[in-house]
Chain A
Amino acid sequence: MSSDLLLSVRNAGKQFMQGQRPRWACRGVSFDLYPGEVLAVVGESGSGKSTLLRLLASRLACDEGSVFYDLREEAGNGVAASRGASGLVDLAGLSEARLRWLARTDWGFVEQHARDGLRMNVSGGANIGERMMALGARHYGKLRGEALSWMERVELDVDRIDDLPGTYSGGMQQRLQIARNLVTHPRLVFMDEPTTGLDVSVQARLLDLLRELVDQLHLAAVIVTHDLAVARLLAHRMLVMKDGCVVEQGLTDRVLDDPQHPYTQLLVSSVLTP
């Protein structure tokens, strides 16, 4: 496998038991992801895209296949050292402790509902500072400074740093979630429907922000969405899922402009154009 590869998925599948009968929520998914690359996973609800995301982020274990990641060595104070030391590693072989460390440092996960990805009972500043504190940062002033600078970066009003996230609007909560995830400069960010449920104009601004950040920080991302416009705007490549299987994958522009699979064609044609 190429030493440049960041994430590699081979034949990943997850099965759930419904009563006595098994059902594959997703099956046979394979793809490669390189640093700085954004992949959109598109499909209707029930297509298995959210299950796939959780498999990739090791929140669920694969029943079939594997997920490989380019793991960095853990340096003395827990920060990721420079790359290349470990190469691609099967995530199933990692300990719980290692996976949690990975999730706190080299990865980000932006939840669909901000409440699931934030600590609602502490201020915005505390939310952003948490990962840094977990890595040993112990200077209150510096933590606060970092939090303020990230708030600016995600276009949040810095006067709100001590306010509880419950007082933020939906769009602001998403921005806070993004900041909270990005403080440790992760190389890979998972996003589960990051703009769904927000007003259209708020969505548009958030997508612009995401595009900028992905570009500036050279982030790789896997974004689950049912909105083709999100895929078009953010993703280099996309997977189309139906009933747990990938029916089509490829460059975003190609898939959207020249869909091959009938289901993709249906999806594309049913998008309302303004």
Chain B
Amino acid sequence: MYVAVKGGTAAIENSWQLLAMQRRGDPSLPELSVDQIRTQLSLAVDRVMSEGSLYDPELAALAIKQASGDLIEAIFLLRAYRTTLPRFGYSLPLDTARMNLTRRVSATFKDVPGGQVLGATYDYTQRLLDFALLAEGGGDEAPPAPQSVAQALPASMPRVNELMAREGLMETPRPVADSEPGDLTREPLMFPADRPLRLQALARGDEGWLLGLGYSTQRGYANAHPFAGEIRRGAVSVEILADELGFAIDIGEVEVTECQMINQFAGNREVPPQFTQGYGLAFGGAERKSMAMALVDRALRARELGELAVAPAQDEEFVLSHADSLEASGFVQHLKLPHYVDFQSELELVRRLRAAHAQEGQDEKHADPGRGAPTPHTEPAIQKAA
């Protein structure tokens, strides 16, 4: 006797309990604190803020804790929270030239005004697992402070791109004068998309997706011949123009990593060659993201630079429609939802077509016994009959 399956509600509640237990892990071990995550897993926090489109290290750290370290799940939590926040206005563009630099490198010149500032990076380490970090209470010993710097950084360090632009070597695309940039958090992305919208989509786009696409441009899928003109990381002031005051006020600081790629020069007999640029920006110390973003930005500029778009990374609709980790993750994982009604419909069709096939086979056999769908079993029998 069949009883319709009930109890979906109870099953869901039990699932929540199991999830809470999984997140907490072994109760005999100390619970992770949000502050620990915020300060000791800062690069994870940076990624969650960038793709979550919300600069709040504490909330990002909370999301990471709640998501048991699944960063895309954490990004989801932050975005859903962001939806509930009221919007006061837009800031002025960040002046990254006035950045409080902690790191600044350029691959295009051996030495640049202000120098190459290495900062904190994994780039110069050897990737050997440090088993000292396994030891209990490893956090008591503070790491040794770096040797004091011989000279202070200059107050203003112009970007390499600007220096080249002054010489006319660098194209400097300007946005259309009076148009306000679209806002992807408010309106859907429609194609063709202008550069401001594309950059927005890339900034909150999935790092893995952009990394793969950026990589493809280096391997011949749209050759861009990129050079890292400037990569800088540091804190920048956020300013808003308060209507009542009539001037800009400083409301705080965000840490960003900015990457400017210098690319293959465009030009021909009539037009003198210039270098072209790609741009990337991310919260915190996300260098890989900002570099990949700059590569993809350049690739997507194919149309405006009069280049033939032949590679996937140059296909605006392809790149941007699949860049959002929330959309991608949601739709891929939605396949776990029940689809049995549609599957039922497919079953019915396949059964019907198979029956029709079998019927045709039967009809053919009866019409002409000498012919028929040959199978290893029947063939000798048919030959014998013939």
Contact = CB atoms under 8 A, between A and B. Distances in A.
Chains A and B directly touch (beta carbon < 8 Å)? yes
Interface residues of B, number: 4
A139 interface: no
Interface in A1-50: 18-21
B268 interface: yes
Contacts of B269: 19
B271 interface: yes
A18 B270 CA distance: 8
Contacts of B270: 18-21
Interface of A: 18-21
A19 B269 CA distance: 8
Nearest to B271: A19
Contacts of B271: 19-20
By CB atoms of chain B within 10 A, which of A18, A19, A20, A21 has the most? A19
A37 B271 CA distance: 46
A63 B268 CA distance: 25
A80 B269 CA distance: 50
A20 B270 CA distance: 6
Contacts of A18: 268, 270
Nearest to B266: A19
A133 B339 CA distance: 33
A80 to B, nearest CB: 34
Contacts of A20: 270-271
A124 to B, nearest CB: 23
A20 B271 CA distance: 7
9 contacts: A18-B268, A18-B270, A19-B268, A19-B269, A19-B270, A19-B271, A20-B270, A20-B271, A21-B270
A21 B268 CA distance: 11
Contacts of A21: 270
Interface in B260-311: 268-271
A257 B120 CA distance: 83
A20 B268 CA distance: 10
B272 to A, nearest CB: 10
A19 B271 CA distance: 6
Nearest to A21: B270
B331 to A, nearest CB: 25
